[in-house]
Amino acid sequence: MVNAFVYGDEAINLLQPLYLIPALAVVNMKLKEVCAYLCLFWFIITCLGLYFIPSFL
């Protein structure tokens, strides 16, 4: 339960990717495109982890 809370908190932190702003100027992408990809990736990895890891323990 605590891990689910921590993963959710980390996902909220991905909504403010200020560390990406200099890199976006180099690759010529928009911030909302990158945020969408990061949030989708984090959601999938978190869901898979919370589903499969408890079955191994």
Question: Per residue in 33-50, pLDDT tens?
Answer: 777 787 788 888 888 888
DSSP 15: T
Rounded CA separation 7/43 (Å): 9
**Tens-digit pLDDT profile for residues 8-36:** 777 776 666 666 677 777 888 777 777 77
pLDDT computed for residue 16 by the predictor: 64
pTM for the model: 0.53
**d(C-alpha 2, C-alpha 21), whole Å:** 31
Q: CA–CA separation, 49 vs 19, rounded Å? A: 25
Residue 19, both tokens: 């560390």
